[in-house]
A and B are shown apart, each in its own frame.
Chain A
Amino acid sequence: MKIVVCIKQVPDTTEIKLDPVTGTLIRDGVPSIMNPDDKGGLEFALQLKDKYGAHVTVITMGPPQAEAILREAYAMGVDRAILLSDRKFAGADTLATSNTIAGALRSLEYDLIITGRQAIDGDTAQVGPQIAEHLDLPQVTYVEDLSFDGNKTFSVKKSTEEGYQIVEVEAPCVLTALASGVKPRYMSVRGIVEAYNKEIENWNFSNISVDEKKLGLNGSPTRVFKSFTKGVKAAGQVYEVEPNEAVDIIINKLKEKFII
């Protein structure tokens, strides 16, 4: 079985803070990490490798420094790592990103493609299903657990708002994984020691067969019109009033906040 896992390097958004004075985002010094859902997906792939001897390839689209997460993937146990990097890919929205990655995937063999459900810097959850559409493959999103019959069929536990579904899908297919469903393994010490001796394949525009108009900023139907932070918190107000009045104040605030 051949598995390709699509991973992304993201800023650790739990480390991002707002400048208390200007209210702008402080991105300096924020560490970059492998996107958590992608890491969950990678763990699913490595478990299939442990059990069925699957060959696991990781691919990432990003700047040259995204190499770091490919080394990490090597240290976790993958067999092959590809870095998709080209100025032509820059400025892509989800559609253009999915076109790029799907283009690369067409040059690879796969029985199973795994992506994370969503990346923590964008939270869109769009690239996985869009890749599936470009490659004309069936998709199952929100994958919490996964088993394989050893032949062709995956039985997948798909998380829903109300509980879960068990769905079956045959290879080849695309699954989007949830970090909550699985605990990714740590890199092994030996894996780390050897990770920097392994090859990272550098792919660019010439390695993928996609119309340039579908890539990067030109291939992106959506644009950021403006971005803004929610600003610095104002000082709170304290009321010393009768219970009835207090309750009304609270309820009005909740209404303002759309809580009720």
Chain B
Amino acid sequence: MNNMDKSQYKNVFVFIEQREGVIQNVALELLGKARELANALNEKVYAILLGHNLTTQAQECIAYGADTVLRVDSPELQTYTTEPYAQAVYQIITTYKPSIVLIGATTIGRDLGPRLSARIETGLTADCTGLEISEEKELLMTRPAFGGNLMATIVCKEHRPQMSTVRPGVMRMGHRDTNRQGNIEDVTINFDKSKFKVRVVKTVKEKKDMIDITEANILVSGGRGVGNAEGFDMLRAMAKTINAEVSASRAMVDAGVLAHERQVGQTGKTVRPDVYFAMGISGAIQHLAGMEESEYIIAVNKDKYAPIFNVADLGIVGDVRKIVPLLTEKLAAIKHQK
């Protein structure tokens, strides 16, 4: 593979992850990004759609930016397991020779991607948060490392395709255009079933208890200014619109409004979410100790001298009880549009 003819490899391929026939958002986000990359390269966007008893998914891929959908509809691909999917994508890649392959960094994509990269013997960059085309027409893949403390931009110079898994929710989904035109090609795969050795006995969906607030990406945290249990209902409604978790300062936990496991601060937990909303929290040092490492802090408080504003990236002097309902309303509307 070292002296490969890179010029043979063209076009941007996206692995379309579907679960029970439903295309996952990350696949649509990748189609949007692939569109951008393909435009920069003057190439086409291909969607790799695997599954069984597929219906209109291929048309959706086109609506979100694919020029061609390579569709494999086969009973082996009903539920994801590594080997059937790896065989199918491998055969497609070796046949169509893409220059770029993008896969969602989900439990499926992170299972499939490395298996494929080793089979093809090419590079794979994990969990990318940024993708762009360089002046040399190479893919620049940027990803966090060291627990998010460092960002690294990775290139795959001599091997093709350039592969990356991409974190869900980072790329922008393109506009859905049902008038877009594209091709749908049905592809047949020669499966080697002797290698199918993993059997899914059952798939269980359970609402994962996101009680571990240290794992949450967004926290909506309330303090004395929120007042009481009803105040927290208001925060919960807001949290719901942005898939956030609710947490609290010690005062609210001591008052019995929230369980101790949701307490942020010295005697509670230390959190560092991407966004921390400090709602009606004055910011006693015991509280600050538990949240000041958060990536982005938005504070709302009536008292403009509240110490919370010393650590906030964005501070709003105002009444949480007026601001939160308004904010919830607008966030809900935005969510609804999507």
Contacts and interface: CB of A to CB of B under 8 A. Distances in A.
B254 interface: no
Contact of A125 (B126, B151, B331): B126
Contacts of A150: none
Contacts of A123: 126-127, 144-145, 147
A224 B118 CA distance: 19
B240 interface: no
A238 B155 contact: no
Of A13, A127, A155, most buried by chain B (CB within 10 Å of CB) is A13
A249 B314 contact: yes
A229 B218 contact: no
Per DSSP, chain B at the interface is mixed
A215 to B, nearest CB: 13
Contact of A163 (B121, B145, B208, B318): B208
Interface stretch (A61-69, A77-85, A93-101): A93-101
B52 interface: no
Interface in B157-199: 157-159, 169-170, 172, 195, 197-199
Interface residues of B, number: 80
A127 B115 CA distance: 9
Contacts of B106: 161
B154 A224 contact: yes
A224 B153 contact: yes
A168 interface: yes
A127 B298 contact: no
Contact of A238 (B127, B149, B206, B315): B315
B114 A94 contact: yes
B154 A225 contact: yes
A140 to B, nearest CB: 6
A93 B123 contact: yes
Contacts of A98: 114, 118
A25 B169 contact: no
A155 B201 contact: yes
A89 B278 CA distance: 48
B156 interface: yes
Contacts of A229: 149-151
A132 B81 CA distance: 14
B149 A16 contact: yes
A95 B1 CA distance: 13
A243 B319 contact: yes
Per DSSP, chain A at the interface is mixed
A34 to B, nearest CB: 16
B238 to A, nearest CB: 11
Interface string A155-167: 1001111111111
Interface in A12-44: 13-14, 16-18, 25
Contact of A165 (B158, B200, B275): B200
A77 to B, nearest CB: 29
A243 B317 CA distance: 9
A146 B300 CA distance: 46
B6 interface: no
B326 interface: yes
Contacts of B296: 253, 257
A260 interface: yes
A149 B144 CA distance: 40
Contacts of B153: 224-228
Contacts of B114: 94, 98, 124-130, 133
Contacts of B157: 221, 223
B147 A230 contact: no
A247 B327 contact: yes
B298 A250 contact: yes
A236 B306 CA distance: 14
Interface in B244-267: none
B203 A213 contact: no
Interface of A: 11, 13-14, 16-18, 25, 93-95, 98, 120-130, 132-134, 136, 138-142, 155, 158-170, 173, 213, 220-230, 233-234, 236-241, 243-244, 246-247, 249-251, 253-254, 257-260
5 contacts: A16-B147, A25-B149, A164-B206, A234-B313, A247-B330
Nearest first, the 5 A-B pairs at minimum CB distance are: A221-B123, A13-B147, A238-B315, A222-B123, A133-B118
